[in-house]
Structure 1
Amino acid sequence: MKHYQIAVIAYPHCLLSAVYGFAETFELANEACAETGLDVRITTHILREADLLKDQDPQPLYHAVLLPPSLEKASYSEKTSSINDFLIQQHQQGAMLCSACAGAFFLAYTGLTDKRVMTTHWALEGLFKERFPNQPMDTSKILINQGDVISAGGMMSWMDLALELVQSLTNAHIVRQLGKILVIDTGKREQRYYQQFQPNLDHGDAAILAVQHYLQGHFAELQRNESMAARAKLTPRTFLRRFAKCTGLNPNEYIQRLRIQMACNALEQTTLPFESIALQIGYEDVGSCRKAFQKIMGLTPSAFRQRFVSVNPQ
């Protein structure tokens, strides 16, 4: 029998529903394996910080170490030595390191992910880039599997991570069985379907902030870099440099993200056809708007409305 040992680190303020959800999902996978005659067993070990500090000889060997999401920024905004040392040690012994949502911070602190593309919750992207400016990041993805490092995005992405691990340790049939038992969709999806554009407004640059506030109410109008620079009382070159530093986007990209977010809001909250929405948010060419929408959101406008609007708005 193949027997896999999985460690879940229950650090302070982590999402306990994920901690125990991992264990329960793996137990359900064990039952599915038994029913189908697959000779695989997964044992879950829930470890707290005190467990990581124990001097054990030999050190336990885990096939994978999981970092769940967190409800408290303070729990992941600084490196925790005990967790960091444990992760590095386990990785050196062959363990896969896996994170969901804010758990990605713990993996990045180790330095082991510097060359690996990771994902985390889309709303944490700004803080993550601030902490780890050289870390490759793609928050459009729900899950990125790099073999020995797996990261998942949203708060509930621990379920995607659990299913990914089950598939790697068993097979696709067991995952489909779990989907039926849990009544969840085991098909591939992307985090960008759910993301909202939340511009950074706490960067402290008053000149750029004034332009951002102006664009919030005038995104549908034609905006030129020269006029925005004049509003900020800066030269165009200085304006472009400071705008990109504060927002992570150039002005054209920023305006496009504002417009697409407004299109998402209109698709969810109204019954207007997309052609009308495109004109309202500043696109003269509906085809260009549709193309930009699909590039940013990963769905066509009609697929987006179908996914997120269960009943017709009144």
Structure 2
Amino acid sequence: MKLSILLTKHYRLLSVAAIVDVFETANKYLEETESEKRFVLHFIGTERHFQLPEQFQKYDCSFFTDLTEPIDLIFIPAFQHTEHMPQNIQDNADCCAFLVSQYQQGVSLVSLCTGSFLLAAAGLLDGKEATTHVEAADKFARIFPQVKLQPHAIVTQRENIYTSGGATSSFHMKLLLIQQYCGRELAVRVAKAFAIDMDRNNQLYFEHFKPSLSNEDELVRAVQTAINQRFSEIKNVEEALDEVPSSRRNMIRRFKQATGMTPIRYLQKTKIEAAKQLLETTNRNILDIMVSSGYNDMKNFRHLFKTFTGLTPKGYRDKYGMRLG
């Protein structure tokens, strides 16, 4: 199989290195048992006179408009900076038509982490399920409402288009591909080599919610500031909206346009983030943490906590809490 890695402008080097490392490891194990490699790695550049990083210069590479040999699969790696995503998309606009053309010729496309933004910009994810880095999910949903975003998902697969979640979730995509092409036994062996737990089915608990204050809308910024400073005492979002000179309907519209979410979702995520921090860093009981984060109903608190993290408060503490004694 010929696996090509698209070196987009502003790609994340670690994302590319992980692709190479995982599939070269798979090749090594295959050579031990079958005496031959299964995967041929190749790079595709998006600039005419691009140069591969030194550690990859042993691999063949092509400028993306000069490809002549058939490819089985193209990886789109993560981008370096999620805060500059519109610029990342604009700087890689020429890749969109290339990816569409390759897909129409039967090539499978695999995005890792925030690489899904480029697939979405090309229109290839319209109407399809997709995932991305959990901390980029709200931005993705705002830019590409026509995509069926699954922010909890580790991987998605639909019609030879694959997307994966962030960071180490991308390893699950590589393991999925190895399993599909070479079988479960090899996938398990590679997973063990990289110390990857194969039972992960949710990435929500990796999110760290710390949104930027709006620079474009002063009223939205005022609501954000009120929530950030007084979330524990604000019982409902109207208490924050009442402080700004605008109708509730207009303020909700402006808030969602500026932040990618409604004010109530912003308030809920702020409260749950505060609870997460206390579960991580203290041994306070869960009832006390619930009250400190602004809730007074345990059933509602547990429900919202699991909605936003995929775990119960106790499960989250078991995973990330302090080990005392």
TM-score (norm 1): 0.87
Q: Give the one of 65, 68, 71 matched to 1:62.
A: 71
- Which SS does the other structure have where 2:149 is aligned? coil
How far does the alpha carbon of each residue in 1:65-118 deviate from its partner, in whole angstroms, 9 at most, with x for none? Answer: 001112244772315354223312221121111111221122122212112122
- Which SS does the other structure have where 2:242 is aligned? helix
Q: Look up the equivalent residue of 2:79 and give its one-letter code.
A: S
Q: How does 1:215-226 map to 2 (within 5 A)?
A: 215-224=227-236, 226=238
Query: In the alignment, which residue of structure 2 is the partner of 1:191?
Result: 203
Relative to 1, partners in 2 of residues 1:231 and 1:161: Cα closer, same or farther, differing over 3 Å? same
Query: In the alignment, which residue of structure 2 is the partner of 1:19?
Result: 16
CA contact (8 A) 1:79 1:106 kept: no
CA contact (8 A) 1:68 1:158 kept: no
State the shift of 1:265 in Å.
0.4
Q: Distance in 1 between matches of 2:197 and 2:237?
A: 45
In structure 2, the gaps of 5 or more residues are 49-61
Q: State which drifts further: 59-68 or 126-135.
A: 126-135
Q: Look up the equivalent residue of 1:88 and give its one-letter code.
A: V
Q: Give the one of 29, 41, 45 matched to 2:42.
A: 45
Relative to 1, partners in 2 of residues 1:243 and 1:17: Cα closer, same or farther, differing over 3 Å? closer
- Which SS does the other structure have where 2:123 is aligned? coil
Q: Give the one of 297, 303, 307 matched to 1:291.
A: 303
- Which SS does the other structure have where 2:130 is aligned? coil
Q: Give the one of 231, 245, 261 matched to 2:243.
A: 231
Q: State which drifts further: 256-265 or 139-148.
A: 139-148
Q: State which drifts further: 46-55 or 160-169.
A: 46-55
Query: In the alignment, which residue of structure 1 is the partner of 2:216?
Result: 204
State the shift of 1:35 in Å.
4.1
Q: Distance in 2 between matches of 1:282 and 1:308?
A: 21
- 1:110 matched to 2:107? The reply is no
Q: Distance in 2 between matches of 1:35 and 1:147?
A: 33
Q: Distance in 2 between matches of 1:305 and 1:294?
A: 12
How far does the alpha carbon of each residue in 1:201-255 deviate from its partner, in whole angstroms, 9 at most, with x for none? Answer: 2252212321221122221224455543331022333333333333333333322
Q: How does 1:256-267 map to 2 (within 5 A)?
A: 256-267=268-279
- Which SS does the other structure have where 1:6 is aligned? strand
- 1:8 matched to 2:5? The reply is yes
Q: What is the aligned-residue identity percentage?
A: 27
- Which SS does the other structure have where 2:75 is aligned? strand
Q: Look up the equivalent residue of 2:63 and give its one-letter code.
A: L
Q: Distance in 2 between matches of 1:264 and 1:137?
A: 24
Relative to 1, partners in 2 of residues 1:65 and 1:183: Cα closer, same or farther, differing over 3 Å? same
State the shift of 1:54 in Å.
4.7
Q: How does 1:129-148 map to 2 (within 5 A)?
A: 129-148=141-160
TM-score (norm 2): 0.84
- 1:168 matched to 2:177? The reply is no
State the shift of 1:175 in Å.
0.9
Relative to 1, partners in 2 of residues 1:54 and 1:280: Cα closer, same or farther, differing over 3 Å? closer
Q: Give the one of 248, 254, 258 matched to 1:242.
A: 254
Relative to 1, partners in 2 of residues 1:237 and 1:68: Cα closer, same or farther, differing over 3 Å? closer
Q: Distance in 2 between matches of 1:20 and 1:40?
A: 19
Q: State which drifts further: 241-250 or 274-283.
A: 241-250
Number of positions where the alignment pairs a residue of Structure 1 with one of Structure 2: 308
Query: In the alignment, which residue of structure 1 is the partner of 2:263?
Result: 251
Q: State which drifts further: 110-119 or 213-222.
A: 213-222
